[in-house]
Amino acid sequence: MKELLYLKDNQLKHLIEKLFISYRETFSDSKKILDKYSIGQAHQKVIHLLSMYEGISISELLKKLKVTKQSLNRILKDLIKLEMIVFEKDNLDTRIKHVFLNEKGKKIFSEIFEIQKKRIYNALLDSKSEEVLNFDRVLNKIING
């Protein structure tokens, strides 16, 4: 473990490259499905978050994605045209809209998830429990800065 305390710039560059490549490969697995529905990775990110946070508000979705209202609006309009999402006004504050995947949206998410799950599942299955837990901790530290 001590050797990690002395990571050289070159080692960090290789780690960043591996993060990039693992992201690229995980998301390229679903490319055929995205193409089938004429949507892209930005749509996939929104669909994924809608599956995780059912009924999320637009403002919370903006915070999670860290995109502009204009960018999110474009994606949501596409998903509306494809009849994948529905909106509901908040019961207490009608200015707040909550977004949900409808049945078609859930089906498409499921198709995407099933193909991505294979790569992640196989990598985790081929790892020791301690490695999986440590990997998760490191990812959380990267995410949280």
**Structure pTM?**
0.85
What does the angle CA 133 – CA 110 – CA 127 come to, to the nearest 5 degrees? 25
Domain 7-144 has CATH 1.10.10.10: yes
Would you kindly state where each structural domain of the chain is located, as residue ranges?
A: 7-144
What per-residue confidence (pLDDT) applies to 2?
Answer: 55
pLDDT tens digits in sequence order for the chain, 145 residues long = 455 666 788 888 998 999 999 999 998 989 999 999 999 999 999 999 999 999 999 999 999 999 999 999 999 999 999 999 999 999 999 999 999 999 999 999 999 999 999 999 999 999 999 999 999 999 999 989 8
Question: 104 with 47: CB under 8 angstroms?
Answer: no
Ramachandran angles phi, psi of 98, nearest 5°? -110, 140
